[in-house]
């Protein structure tokens, strides 16, 4: 739903080129016709620039905006636009990136003193760490299951990632570690089709061998050797 709103299109068109030219910003994955679409919003340099600009604004009694019980940095959209346009970005691109930034939680838009303002809620490092640790726990559980598969090898070092999580202080650290774990998930899942193909080939070879033995055992020549001896007497 977020991707549809950002791109002003329908679900049907999401995988049909609706985000052409934005493939470095948005990735849409479908696991099946009726399965939910997974939408990944990447960080655009402009998104970083907007957040840096907004968070560089002073906070205090004279410049106060509170959201979710926290004092936030903010900047009026009318002040952000000229600054970004001066750097060579088009208005349409700026609006798209603002929507993506809102979807990712980099910043948000609110009405403040009768004007639209972009604001950033100070990030809570402990919340970021909790999300990363939950993701790592899921990944460790998946790797443990994958180790039951033959030939499964991974260099992913969960211990070093957990140590890095303990040092997370901002969204850049968070995004770096989240990307690292997502890549490992993707590597795991990409191995499954090849594994099942090899398993099917092995089963086919086994079936062929069994059939060969069966044909040999039931063949005329072999059957003659296996016939029960007839009872004969010298009398």
- Per domain, the residue ranges of the chain are 1-42, 43-122, 125-191
From residue 213, give the alpha-carbon distance in Å to each of 86, 203, 206, 217.
Answer: 79, 15, 11, 6
* Average pLDDT of the segment spanning 194-216: 64
In tens, the pLDDT along 2-45 reads 555 545 555 555 555 545 555 555 666 666 666 666 666 666 77
Phi, psi of 86 (to 5 degrees): -65, -25
In tens, the pLDDT along 130-143 reads 889 988 999 999 89
Exposure string (b/e) for 126-150, b if CB count within 10 Å is 16 or more? eebbeebeebbeebeeebeebeeee
Given pLDDT bands bounded at 50, 70 and 90, which one contains residue 63? confident
In tens, the pLDDT along 145-177 reads 888 877 788 899 999 999 999 999 877 788 789
Q: Is the pLDDT of residue 112 over 80?
A: yes
pLDDT for the residue numbered 65: 87
> What is the distance between the alpha carbons of residues 169 and 171, in angstroms, rounded to a whole number?
7
233 contacts: CB under 8 Å, gap ≥ 6: none
144 contacts: CB under 8 Å, gap ≥ 6: none
Q: What is the dihedral of CA 151, 156, 158, 163, to 10 degrees?
A: 160
**Predicted model pTM:** 0.46
> What is the distance between the alpha carbons of residues 169 and 127, in angstroms, rounded to a whole number?
10
- Range name among 12-16, 33-37, 80-84, 178-182 with the lowest pLDDT average: 12-16
- Topology (CATH) of 43-122: Arc Repressor Mutant, subunit A (1.10.10)
**pLDDT: which is higher, 93 or 39:** 93
pLDDT for the residue numbered 228: 54
* Average pLDDT of the segment spanning 49-69: 81
pLDDT for the residue numbered 18: 47
> What is the distance between the alpha carbons of residues 42 and 25, in angstroms, rounded to a whole number?
5
């Amino acid at each position: 739903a977020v991707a549809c709103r950002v791109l002003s299109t329908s679900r049907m068109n999401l995988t049909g080129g609706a985000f052409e030219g934005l493939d470095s910003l948005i990735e849409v994955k479908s696991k099946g016709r009726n399965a939910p679409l997974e939408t990944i919003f990447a960080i655009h340099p402009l998104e970083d620039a907007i957040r840096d600009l907004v968070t560089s604004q002073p906070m205090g009694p004279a410049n106060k905006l509170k959201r979710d019980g926290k004092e936030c940095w903010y900047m009026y959209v009318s002040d952000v636009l000229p600054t970004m346009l001066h750097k060579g970005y088009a208005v349409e691109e700026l609006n798209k990136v603002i929507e993506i930034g809102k979807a990712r939680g980099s910043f948000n838009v609110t009405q403040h003193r009768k004007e639209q303002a972009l604001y950033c809620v100070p990030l809570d490092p402990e919340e970021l760490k909790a999300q990363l640790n939950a993701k790592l726990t899921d990944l460790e559980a998946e790797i443990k299951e994958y180790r039951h598969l033959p030939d499964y090898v991974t260099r992913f070092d969960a211990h070093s990632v957990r140590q890095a999580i303990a040092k997370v202080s901002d969204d850049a650290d968070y995004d770096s570690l989240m990307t690292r774990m997502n890549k490992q998930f993707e590597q795991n899942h990409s191995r499954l089709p090849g594994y099942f193909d090899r398993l099917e080939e092995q089963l086919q070879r086994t079936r062929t061998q069994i059939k060969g033995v069966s044909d040999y055992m039931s063949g005329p020549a072999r059957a003659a050797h296996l016939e029960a001896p007839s009872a004969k007497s010298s009398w």
